[in-house]
Amino acid sequence: MPQIPVRNPRTGKVDAWIMPPISADLSQQCDRLRLAQPAWQSAGLGQRIAALQQWKHAIQQHSEPLIQALVADTGRLDISALEVDSVLSSLDRWCQLAPELLQEIEKPTAIPFIHLQQDSVPYPLVGVISPWNFPLLLSLIDTIPALLAGCAVIVKPSEIAPRFINPLLDTVNEVPELRDILTFVEGDGDTGAALIEQVDLICFTGSIKTGRQVGEAAAKRFIPAFLELGGKDPAIILKSADLDLATSAILWGSVVNTGQSCLSIERIYVDQAIVQPFTEQLIAKATQLKLAYPTLNDGEIGPIIAERQAAIIADHLQDAINKGAIVQCGGKIETLDGGLWCYPTVLTGVNHTMKIMTEETFAPIMPIMPFATVEEAIELANDTIYGLGAAVFAGSTSEALEVGDRIQAGAISINDAALTALIHEGEKNAFHYSGIGGSRMGAAALKRFMRKKAYLIKTKPVFNPWWYV
């Protein structure tokens, strides 16, 4: 099987190669994990928590090589460090929550002599296929709760950002109990497709196109598929909103990680009475941000990670300009020392005939469209095949909630933006083509890796009244 080249997003050069496993090797890895999973499950939650806390310590001890690998993967420093910190926090959070969430339930039933005992059984082997925009964080967002549930897990990260795999495996190998039931494999879409044929449950984060293929393959095998797909999140700014707060929140929600996030704000609808001051404030703030070039510490905006994404961004921008959009700042992709960069961009004069308003762009681009009535704003926000998240800004929480209630999306940030990146307690489901399956936030994120099992126990030696006489 040929090696796969890995491009450095800061230089544009291929400086690494990965080797996907041949079919027999992948099968052997999955067989090894399956063989070890029953012992991991029967060891009990306490021992699983102890193992994950050991893993947390190993990650802390080896955080520097992990961060450096993420920098090479993504071309940005601060968010790479934040990814590591977020994983450490996630390990603590799930270890604290798991004992309560995984309690067995015992209770009487409607029939006095029948008692119910509720149990849950983990899926033996979970497969995770993760994307390139947050390589570490999104490879573990499903993995950690699955491990605590008692599953074995095999992860196939994106071939675009795979360098973190080896330093992360070094930390896994420091925890004997963990290395038997968790591994990461290199590879591209072919390896991902082969993985689906080997596991009992699949978690996928990525595009709608690939997500459809994953869902169809899982359906053929009759296994659950949890698909977290694309987004085109809208923000609605009502006339009563605090413009300083709204522009700051939307700027962050639109350009953090260079806009390479499924929960980025990608469409902005502003009451026509305030659209001019809103736009002026957003432009003023956007133009203060700088590229993280020529060094990692020079600015806030990192490079475009995936070369193929740069082509999509350029196409969306040109399509918008051709159809009458006006570039207020930014507006182009620049090549610097081989890396591809996009300045924070504000567009006006946009409409829903443009790709920039209807297709996922994954860039630090903020297209602004005025609305005359709240009804129009809601209609525009819902005019999409996506439904991941949204944001509403208003002078009062109640006013914002009234609008948010009518937006067809799973997570609505009120007087803020992209809060699901930081707040993990709220369960949410994707609407429309943004995904399918149980919530990866809140208690459901752990429970979806368990199959519920009911024991219906007769407590008295009596004849049931529905038996034949």
pLDDT in tens, 134-147: 999 999 999 999 99
Give yes or no for residue 1 having a pLDDT over 80: no
Give φ, ψ of 220 to 5 degrees: -65, -30
pLDDT confidence of residue 426:
82
Judgement on whether residues 381 and 395 belong to the same structural domain of the protein: yes
Q: Which of 262, 266, 342, 360 is catalytic?
A: 262
- % residues pLDDT > 70 (the chain): 100
pLDDT confidence of residue 254:
97
Judgement on whether residues 237 and 278 belong to the same structural domain of the protein: yes
Judgement on whether residues 53 and 185 belong to the same structural domain of the protein: yes
Query: How far are the Cα atoms of 105, 107, 465 from residue 111, in angstroms, in the given order?
Result: 17, 11, 11
Judgement on whether residues 87 and 203 belong to the same structural domain of the protein: yes
Give just the sign of the alpha carbon dihedral 86, 410, 142, 1.
Answer: negative
Whether residue 264 is contained in a domain is answered as yes
Judgement on whether residues 49 and 104 belong to the same structural domain of the protein: yes
Domain's final residue, options 421, 446, 464? 421
CA 291 to chain centre: 24
Per-residue pLDDT of 409-429, as tens digits, reads 999 999 999 998 888 888 889
Work out the average pLDDT over 287-303.
Answer: 96
Whether residue 426 is contained in a domain is answered as no
In this structure, of 104-113, 224-233, 253-262, the range with the lowest mean pLDDT score is: 104-113
pLDDT confidence of residue 363:
97
How many domains does one find in the chain?
Answer: 2
Per-residue pLDDT of 145-187, as tens digits, reads 999 999 999 999 999 999 999 999 999 999 999 999 999 999 9
Judgement on whether residues 123 and 223 belong to the same structural domain of the protein: yes
Judgement on whether residues 221 and 242 belong to the same structural domain of the protein: no
Range of the domain at 338: 233-421
pTM above 0.85, yes or no: yes
Per-residue pLDDT of 183-199, as tens digits, reads 999 999 999 999 999 99
Whether residue 428 is contained in a domain is answered as no
Judgement on whether residues 275 and 297 belong to the same structural domain of the protein: yes
| Mean pLDDT value across the chain | 96
Whether residue 63 is contained in a domain is answered as yes
Query: How far are the Cα atoms of 106, 458, 467 from residue 462, in angstroms, in the given order?
Result: 21, 9, 11
Work out the average pLDDT over 422-439.
Answer: 88
Judgement on whether residues 103 and 149 belong to the same structural domain of the protein: yes
* Residue 290's pLDDT band (cuts 50, 70, 90): very high
Kindly report the CATH number assigned to the domain that includes residue 105. 3.40.605.10
Whether residue 91 is contained in a domain is answered as yes
* Residue 218's pLDDT band (cuts 50, 70, 90): very high
- Tell me if residue 262 is catalytic: yes
pLDDT confidence of residue 105:
85
Q: Which of 177, 186, 228, 399 is catalytic?
A: 228
Per-residue pLDDT of 12-25, as tens digits, reads 999 999 999 999 99
21-48 burial string, b = 16+ CB within 10 Å, else e? beeeebeebbeebbebbeebbeeebeeb
pLDDT confidence of residue 259:
97
108 near 456, Cβ under 8 Å?
no
Judgement on whether residues 199 and 265 belong to the same structural domain of the protein: no
In this structure, of 238-247, 280-289, 444-453, the range with the lowest mean pLDDT score is: 444-453
Give yes or no for residue 377 having a pLDDT over 80: yes
Whether residue 354 is contained in a domain is answered as yes
Give yes or no for residue 468 having a pLDDT over 90: yes
Judgement on whether residues 19 and 60 belong to the same structural domain of the protein: yes
- Tell me if residue 30 is catalytic: no
For the chain, the 3-state helix, strand and coil shares in percent, each to the nearest 5, are 40, 20, 35
Judgement on whether residues 238 and 216 belong to the same structural domain of the protein: no
SS3 for 403? Answer: helix
Whether residue 429 is contained in a domain is answered as no
Whether residue 430 is contained in a domain is answered as no
Per-residue pLDDT of 75-130, as tens digits, reads 999 999 999 999 999 999 999 999 998 888 889 999 999 999 999 999 999 999 99
Kindly report the CATH number assigned to the domain that includes residue 325. 3.40.309.10
Angle among Cα 419, 343, 321 to the nearest 5 degrees reads 100
